[in-house]
Chain A
């Protein structure tokens, strides 16, 4: 079972449905690995259920029930195909699984595969791979980085993370993730602002990048 879980406030925002869709995806992927958090989400949803039940009753318009029945009758006469339960949340992007991903090299042993980028490029959902024993450059973030380990494991200045672990690094935490020796590490990563490289060379690259490639939010390789 994984050892690093979303914080209580993230869990609550998720259960309440006010987490952003990308953060929700990261939490949902963690839940696939973590029965304990699934049980907690269930309780947090029970709390939502109780809050909802305690709301006052609002008057409804006369014909609302009939309108609903009309829609149901229409649907019943032309039933849609039943929705298949999803086995893997990332299936949509990875129909052939993690082994068939066409990685883009970013650094010596560091690879990325972008799933979604927001229009302004500030938010980025991607898969990241560090080959066994490889090390990412020292970096910090302008915003927050959420990582869920899908395969293998990595360590950084603050801890060791294994399959299913949910890790958040905020802008002021510089870190240099390193894959465990025996296996490639693949993570789902959600970044709500670009990466900035740290260290003297990193700072130089960073300044250069911002001058000439303001729209590109991946570190130059």
Chain B
């Protein structure tokens, strides 16, 4: 490191190589963030196309095969390239070491390698679109037997996801070791910010669940390329076992998606209520409880696949148990707001949007977790609505909240707060317009993944498609506002929000080595006594 960068910020070094081969966790986090934003834009466009196709029965803008490929790509891109890495890999990388008072993560070079794996996986995923005999058309779950026999480019897509999974494992490992080993002096486990706690729980899921996805994908590969027949009934195999293996990963993966977003919300609420968070310990423990209980519920995706009734009841009960720690968090956030000295700044507006949309999705999760009602709405639009409320309304809004909360720290500039609030409101309206009709469609029996539908579903599909346009408007407004803010917004000081966690003690943007002097922690992360905003 040269003298000039010691005085400056982590942005100072120039040139492409200084980014692509960086071991600075903040730069790696930014690399993730830019990639994720680009893929998010692609995923959104694909989603808009799906909605446009469904605006009327019959073929509208694309044929059946193109439709199958579009929703598969929308799923694969959004799940594996956007939602899973969104908050942990991007914001976790940037802010976990800062919040711990560390110089970097435990394994900086491994961190760079993780990003490279992500980039390679992303390139291969994109290659799956344009090479071979057409893009995959299996849905993001790659269910056998279809995925074993379809002539589309499933093998390449599966390879991409395998590599992306490896990246996720390495990031998780890095975070666990970082949190164990690199906390600043005085940063006891009881003073760990809740974002750190949520990343800790997430990292364990990444480490413990992702290998199962790895083996499942290897098995699809073996089925397709080597003709193994492990899941082929004519050769003695059993396709249901594929579903078990797939969901043993992919259900916990849902918590990889949502837990870090919950961590972001737990950071934002106390800062803008100017009050220590209600039930710090229960929120921290609930993250671990969600990670643990969430690993035991996978078969609730399979209530109609022919399991025993006992298994159905056990998995239904376990699924209900996960709702408890999730609800604990929601109640604790609202209790923190109660009698708080609330400042309705953009991060809080997005956090409130998160609470509302996530609760909408969470409650309908109980409808799906209860076997009786699930059999009625299984594989209908009800599931699509539930999933998008939780993941787009939850993780997506968590990511937007994080962008608005931390952008001033990363760029040292502030966006236009009024426009940020307006776009948040438009987004909440748009997303309810987009996804609420799906609940009604699902209850009325409209199956998911279908290209065509009966005329009685038309009005709700039109409503949903219009909702997708409103959502798109909100997204564009938010993106433009953030872009303008980071380029030319007014400069901010170290601590524009008056927060008490460590990342706000250093300069905005932070220097390469994070802190001018090693921080010593002598207070909790939400102890605001004497902390003044420095705008």
A binds B: no
Write the residues of chain B forming the contact surface with A, with a CB cutoff of 8 angstroms.
Answer: none
Write the residues of chain A forming the contact surface with B, with a CB cutoff of 8 angstroms.
Answer: none
